[in-house]
Amino acid sequence: MLDLIRCEFWKLKRKMFVQLVLAASFLFPIPLTAIIYYLNTAQNKYATKAAAFDALWQSVIGFGMLLLLPCILGIVAALLFFMERDNDTFKNLRTIPITSSQMVIAKCIVLLLLSIAFCISSTVASILCGFVFFGVTDILFKVLFSAIYGLLIAISALPLILLIIFFSRSYIFSIMLCVFYSVFNLLSTFSMIALPKWLVLTLPTPSIMLWGTQQMSSRTAINDTEDLQNFIQMGLIPSTPQLIITLGVIGVVSLLLAVYLYKKRSE
């Protein structure tokens, strides 16, 4: 499997994709730094520089990781999963023999690694900006937490990957799917209170966001305590085992269906 994963990365050579993904991780930290710097200096919104940095980091998580990353993962998934179809290399791999499930798992692991790299890179970008304009605290926690976020978001993007394989259309169609998925995530996150509890606990992105908010609350200098208490009272915040089960079920079902579809498509 390690060989297969290494080969998946070799296949991306000259595609500039890893570099672009990492570059995209700087997309939000830079403008968000400017906004928070303005809010901090002009309006004195944050009590300390550490609080201003934490506000920046949380914004980066919200916009960069929860909103942008699934979209990027979907596009990379389309590249990875359409690669064998477009280049007619299925036959070369299957006669080695590499099974469809091995191929799907290797490609998903590549996505997972890219997702973790993106999240860590986003946090590192925030930390770099934080060093210049704010006060940075608890670096190790933030880096580790972003790595966990990368893992969770990659799993939450598996239904999107399943859809991409299911439709198996052009890249433009896949990008449209990714945008739709991100908008859907955004809407479901904004309308959490209005949605039935079971749905909030089932939807991967709101679940990750709520779980993350609670985990971060004791380690960050700013706390939206009131909102958090509301969510706790409403029972919307999943426990760690609950989140693992939800994402585990979503991941396993998506993966099994993706293997089945990929096998069918490759014949």
Partner 1 sequence: MNDYIIETHNLTKKYGSQTSVSHLNIHVKKGRIYGLLGRNGAGKTTTMRMLLGLTAPTSGEVTIFGKPFQGNEKNILPHIGCLIESPGFYPNLTGTENLKIFAELRGLRSPKYIKNALELVNLPYRDKKLFSQYSLGMKQRLAIALAVMHNPELLILDEPINGLDPIGIAEVRDFIRELCDTSGKTILISSHILSEISLLADDVGIIDHGKLLEEESLKELEAKNAKFIHFCVSDAQKAAKIIAATFHSKDFRLTDANNLYLYDMTLPVERINRSFVESGIEIQEVHLCEDTLEDYFKKITGGEGIA
Binding residues for partner 1, rule: CB under 8 A, are 3-4, 6-7, 10-11, 13-15, 83, 87-98, 267
> What contacts 112, CB < 8 A, 6 or more positions away?
150, 151, 154, 155
Cβ closest to partner 1, residue 90 vs residue 181: 90
Query: In sequence order, which ranges of the chain are alpha helices (DSSP H)?
Result: 2-11, 17-24, 29-42, 49-59, 69-87, 90-94, 100-133, 139-156, 158-167, 171-190, 197-202, 204-217, 225-233, 240-266
Token look-up 């598996």 returns: 158
Cβ closest to partner 1, residue 97 vs residue 241: 97
Nearest distance from C-beta of residue 148 to partner 1, angstroms: 31
Report in angstroms the alpha-carbon separations of 120 from 66, 108, 110, 155, 265. 13, 18, 15, 16, 34
Nearest distance from C-beta of residue 265 to partner 1, angstroms: 13
Dihedral sign from CA coordinates of 148, 154, 158, 160: positive
Nearest distance from C-beta of residue 5 to partner 1, angstroms: 11
Give the residue among 122, 120, 117 at the shortest CA–CA distance from 30: 122
Nearest distance from C-beta of residue 77 to partner 1, angstroms: 17
Per-residue tokens: 258:
């993706």
Nearest distance from C-beta of residue 1 to partner 1, angstroms: 11
3-state secondary structure of 144: helix
Cβ closest to partner 1, residue 15 vs residue 219: 15
Cβ closest to partner 1, residue 108 vs residue 155: 108
Nearest distance from C-beta of residue 10 to partner 1, angstroms: 6
> What contacts 103, CB < 8 A, 6 or more positions away?
4, 84, 93, 262
Cβ closest to partner 1, residue 6 vs residue 197: 6
Cβ closest to partner 1, residue 48 vs residue 99: 99
